[in-house]
Copies of this chain bind each other. A is one copy, B any other.
Amino acid sequence: MPEIQALAFDVFGTVVDWRRSVAREAEALLAPKGVALDWGAFADGWRAKYVPAMARVSSGARPFVALDVLHRENLVDLLAEHRIGGLTEAEIDALNLAWHRLDPWPDVLAGMARLKRRFILASLSNGNVRLMVDVARRAGLLWDAILGAEVARAYKPTPEAYDAAARLLMLDPSECLMVAAHPSDLAAAAARGLRTAYVHRPLERGPHREATRPAPGTFDYAVDSFPELADALGA
């Protein structure tokens, strides 16, 4: 096998704790308006609309739009389901930016600094460029390039999302390591020839819903943190 030259990262769940961050942002905006909710469940509900919304783009039922657009449509639906009314358009826009203010998992920055010395680090997320830029600037993430859905104009797990990343990095797919907490993402990357690293993120879905670890050997690497990934890669 050729040497790995670049790491392509899933972001939501793998790099950042979207659930706790979105719950915090929703509470900060809605609680002062008298809304009382299970904020973690609100974040889950928002996230649950993500895959079907992207699927309509990936199937060709609608042209490509940035994830911010899908997030906002889904938010409007979610607010209606919770019978939360009276928000202005500007307030809904502000709440939609919750996804631009996601905190990294505690091990991320130390691991990225080590990995960056040896490898090209690219985001390969379904989040759009501006969302990724805002998250990275706020959290201090060390991307060399923002790739992913908006640059490829294709959402994961569409093959083009992975193909575009390798092509833009001028690498053979086998020189790229997809890093993700989600077996489906890794399986789709492997089908396009990328190598795979599973990162176990037991708290992504909140307490008491720990992710199932894939069977040993399913992916090229399986780790519990970014520093452990750096160890495994000799970085």
Contact = CB atoms under 8 A, between A and B. Distances in A.
Interface stretch (A47-55, A128-136, A154-162): A128-136
Contacts of A170: 66, 68, 128, 130
A120 B133 contact: yes
A130 B168 contact: yes
Interface string A144-180: 1111001100000000000000001110000000000
A163 to B, nearest CB: 14
A137 interface: yes
Of A129, A137, A151, A169, chain B has the most CB atoms within 10 Å of the CB of: A129
A120 B136 CA distance: 11
A150 B147 CA distance: 12
Interface of A: 66, 68, 120, 128-130, 132-133, 136-137, 144-147, 150-151, 168-170
B136 A150 contact: no
Contact of A144 (B68, B136, B150, B169): B136
The 6 closest A-B pairs by CB, nearest first: A130-B170, A129-B168, A133-B144, A145-B146, A133-B145, A130-B169
Contacts of A144: 133, 136-137, 146
Nearest to A116: B137
